[in-house]
């Protein structure tokens, strides 16, 4: 008696699978073919704009980084000499290390404070949504405006000591850190709150019943459970730090300047994006090939960080 039933079961499974496949095949062509015919309406506008706004400028930019040019029409192929010049450029090297230092320091401050605030806001006190609204607000203000708001505040404080934010590199550095903390903490806090709220309540309760202190619960239950939020926020603040432009331009614009021994002017608070911009549109238009080469290096740097982030979040997902 048992054998036929098993056979029947297997047979039905095979039959169902066949039905399902043929079914979806029929339906998907029924849906797919008429849509595919409407290609000019659905896909073309976006793809055409994408070629104008991204694909063509990107490919041309790649090519121009190997050329010497002042406008795009008089490009002369020169090979990798632009990249060599970029690597020898003292201002670019300075901007790279300055940006890296800034990105790491801002990453630490922003994430520690944002996590702290998110932790406080998930403790079940009243008025949580009001605090959340307040902390998130600076995100909506643009970088240029932010820069001028804070340059007013810093100058208001520093003028009492007879100086201002443009006088010293460290003022500009810490000023930018404070500015970006004010802007970004609310953003990261929202992501942390989402992560914290996803922890099952009985997990924390179980830890309490087992006699864990608040600190032990935080470090052994809460933190491991929000690791994916932490990874996302760390990489977000890292890429934000590397790509920073508007705030840098508006707060200090690269000042104060320092003269190197060979006569080049090093703008001590100038970050990578601003350095590329200044090389493109600065006094000598002959340096545009070098600027484009710097831009390619910058692009590869940002892309690598993003790829590492992608693989880091993917491997975390697998572990969970």
Partner 1 sequence: MKTKSSSKALKVLLTVLLSVISLVWVAPIFLVFLNSFKVNTFVKTDTFGWPSGESLAGWGNFIKGMTFGDYPFMNSVLYSVVITLLSTFLILLFTSMAAWFIARVDNMWCKVFYYIFVFSMVVPFQMVMFTLAKTADSLKLNTPFTIPVIYLGFGAGLAVFMFVGFVKGLPLEIEEAAAIDGCGPIRTYFSVVLPMLKPTLISVGILEIMWIWNDYLLPYLVLDRTKYMTIPIHIQYLQGSYGTVDLGAIMALITLSIIPVIIFYLSCQKYIIKGVAAGAVKG
Q: Site map for partner 1, 5-34, x if CB under 8 A?
A: ----------------------xx-xxx-x
Residues 6+ apart with CB under 8 A from 302: 239, 242, 243
Give me the least distance between CB of 6 and partner 1, in Å please: 33
Q: Classify 38 as helix, strand or coil.
A: coil
1 binds partner 1 (CB under 8 A): no
Using CB under 8 A as the binding rule, whether residue 109 contacts partner 1 is answered as no
CB of 266 to partner 1, least distance (A): 19
Which residues inside 262-281 make contact with partner 1, applying CB under 8 A?
Answer: 273, 276-277, 280
The CB-of-145 to partner 1 minimum distance in angstroms stands at 6
Q: Which is nearer to partner 1, 173 or 290 (CB)?
A: 290
Q: Do 121 and 189 touch, CB atoms closer than 8 A?
A: yes
Among 1, 140, 215, 318, binds partner 1 (CB under 8 A): 140
SS3 of residue 67 by DSSP: strand
Whose Cβ is closer to partner 1: residue 6's or residue 41's? 41
Q: Which residue is associated with the tokens 């694909």? A: 55
243 φ/ψ sector (left φ>0, alpha ψ -120 to 50, else beta): alpha
Q: What are phi and psi of 167, to 5 degrees?
A: -80, -35
Q: Which of residues 145-174 bind partner 1 (CB under 8 A)?
A: 145, 148-150, 152-153, 155-157, 159
- Under rule CB under 8 A, residue 226 binds partner 1: no
CB of 290 to partner 1, least distance (A): 12
Contact 273, 294 (CB under 8 A): no
CB 78 within 8 A of CB 289: yes
> Hey, which residues between 76 and 95 contact partner 1 (CB under 8 A)?
none
- 293 in contact with partner 1 (CB under 8 A): no
**Residues in binding contact with partner 1, number by CB under 8 A:** 93
Residue 270's Cβ-side half-sphere holds a number of Cα atoms within 13 Å equal to 23
Q: Which of 99, 176, 252, 288 is in the footprint of partner 1 by CB under 8 A?
A: 288
The candidate with the shortest Cα–Cα distance to 109, out of 9, 10, 12, 179, is 179
């Amino acid at each position: 008696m048992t054998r036929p039933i098993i056979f029947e079961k297997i047979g039905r499974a095979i039959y169902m699978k066949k039905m399902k496949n043929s079914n979806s095949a029929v339906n998907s062509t029924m849906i797919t073919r008429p849509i595919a015919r409407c290609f000019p309406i659905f896909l073309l506008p976006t793809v055409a704009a994408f070629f104008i706004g991204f694909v063509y400028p990107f490919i041309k930019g790649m090519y121009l980084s190997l050329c010497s040019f002042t406008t795009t029409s008089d490009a002369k192929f020169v090979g990798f000499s632009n990249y060599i010049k970029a690597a020898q450029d003292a201002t670019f090297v300075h901007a790279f290390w300055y940006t890296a230092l800034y990105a790491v320091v801002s990453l630490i401050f922003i994430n520690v404070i944002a996590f702290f605030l998110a932790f406080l806001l998930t403790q079940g006190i009243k008025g949580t949504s009001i605090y959340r609204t307040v902390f998130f607000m600076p995100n909506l203000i643009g970088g240029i405006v932010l820069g001028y708001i804070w340059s007013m505040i810093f100058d208001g404080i520093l003028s009492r000591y007879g100086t201002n934010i443009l006088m010293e590199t460290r003022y500009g550095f810490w000023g930018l850190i404070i500015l970006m903390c004010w802007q970004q903490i609310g953003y990261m806090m929202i992501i942390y709150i989402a992560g914290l709220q996803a922890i099952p309540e009985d997990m924390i309760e179980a830890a309490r019943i087992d006699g864990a202190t608040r600190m032990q619960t935080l470090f052994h239950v809460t933190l491991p459970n929000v690791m994916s939020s932490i990874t996302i926020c760390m990489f977000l603040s890292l890429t934000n730090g590397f790509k920073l432009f508007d705030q840098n331009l508006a707060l200090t614009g690269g000042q104060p300047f320092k003269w190197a021994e060979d006569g080049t002017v090093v703008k001590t608070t100038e970050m990578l994006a601003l350095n590329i911009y200044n090389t493109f549109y600065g006094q000598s238009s002959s340096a545009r090939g070098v600027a484009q080469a710097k831009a390619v290096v910058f692009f590869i740097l940002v892309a690598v960080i993003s790829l590492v982030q992608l693989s880091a979040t993917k491997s975390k997902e697998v572990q969970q």
